[in-house]
Amino acid sequence: MRKINLNNWHTTMNKELLNIFNQADIVLQEAIMARKNLIIYKNNQTTLEIQKSTLNRLRVYKKALHSGNIIPYFQPIIDVRDNSVLKYEALARLLTDTGEIVTPYYFLDSAKQDNTFEFFTRQMMQKVFNIYAKKKTDISINITYENISSQSMQGYIRNRLEKYGGDGITFEIVESEDIEDYEIIEDFILMLKQYNCKVSIDDFGSGYSNFTNIIKLNIDYIKLDGSLIEKLNIDKNVEYMIKALLSFAKNANIKTIAEFVSTQELDDKIRELGVDYIQGYLYGEPKSAESYDLV
């Protein structure tokens, strides 16, 4: 009789289901962007098909940008001590002319290729500050090295902080291989601290983290990379890695946030390991400001 390793089977099934859901989301978003009722997913697109898809995304993106339809959605970040909302992360979304919502995966590359990324960031940021000014709810804003290394963008951020204040604002710096000069980031953080902003390093542990440089920065949080969190209960090596990251953060007196927490099983494990804050669909999916009573 053939023996089946149930643990291995469960791990394989989880991976396959995750892959199916990811592919389904890709098809849905592509259909929205193309304004079609039916699209068949193919993972072996021809060069011409890829070019057509890219041009369509660029067209939809530019129309939304110039119509003021880059909008913030919000997702709560939860304090593990009492399950209260610590703050909300502002997440960029594209509103199509038919009222559909598109996630940034499908248009951020277009923004960068079209050299309108700063214009996109300013539009998103201004709408976040407008909401912050009304309720003074603590909000996290994502920012990239490309933004930080732009003198004009830095000037814009300083101007907004002068006008609205920064006591309840956290800037989440995306940690990636694009970072060329940590001194630029260090200077930017020093500027933010003048306005009492907090700073988080996003996607920490994604494979590019430079511990030596990050430990020198005056940061308040590190957000553990979601792709690691999703694998926590199915890959023992990921668990060992997260434990090491948590130990590093604790020794550096930096609070930790786990994102992509979507199940109670994952939530239990995260709490057991000692993460400070949790974010994910289990506690709330990204929604409009109205949905979370932020306006």
Q: What is the CATH number of the domain that holds 128?
A: 3.20.20.450
3-state helix, strand, coil in the chain (%, to 5): 50, 20, 35
Residue 131 lies in a domain: yes
Residue 57 lies in a domain: no
Residue 88 lies in a domain: yes
Phi first, then psi, for residue 89 (nearest 5°) are -90, 130
Query: What residues does 198 pair with on adjacent strands?
Result: 170
173 closest CA partner among 218, 127, 111: 218
Is pLDDT larger for residue 213 or for residue 128? 128
128 closest CA partner among 101, 168, 98, 100: 168
Residue 146 lies in a domain: yes
Give the DSSP letter string of 221-283: EEEE-HHHHHTTTT-HHHHHHHHHHHHHHHHTT-EEEE----SHHHHHHHHHHT-SEEESTTT
Asked if pLDDT for residue 6 goes beyond 80, the answer is: no
pLDDT (average), residues 5-18: 47
Residue 17 lies in a domain: no
pLDDT given at position 4: 46
pLDDT given at position 121: 95
* CA within 13 Å, CB half, 35: 9
What is the pTM assigned to this prediction?
A: 0.81
Residue 205 lies in a domain: yes
Residue 77 lies in a domain: yes
Domain count, the chain: 1
pLDDT given at position 21: 44
Mean pLDDT of the residues in the chain: 84
pLDDT-based confidence at 108, cuts 50/70/90? Answer: confident
Residue 19 lies in a domain: no
Question: Does residue 250 contact residue 232 with C-beta atoms inside 8 Å?
Answer: no
Q: At residue 247, what is the residue type?
A: S
Give me 86's structure tokens. 């610590």
Q: Give the residue numbers spanning the domain of 187.
A: 69-279
Asked if pLDDT for residue 61 goes beyond 70, the answer is: yes
Q: pLDDT tens-digit profile of 240-289?
A: 999 999 998 999 899 999 999 999 999 999 999 999 999 999 999 999 99
pLDDT-based confidence at 39, cuts 50/70/90? Answer: very low
Q: Using CA atoms, how far apart are residues 241 and 79, in angstroms rounded to an integer?
A: 22
Asked if pLDDT for residue 18 goes beyond 90, the answer is: no
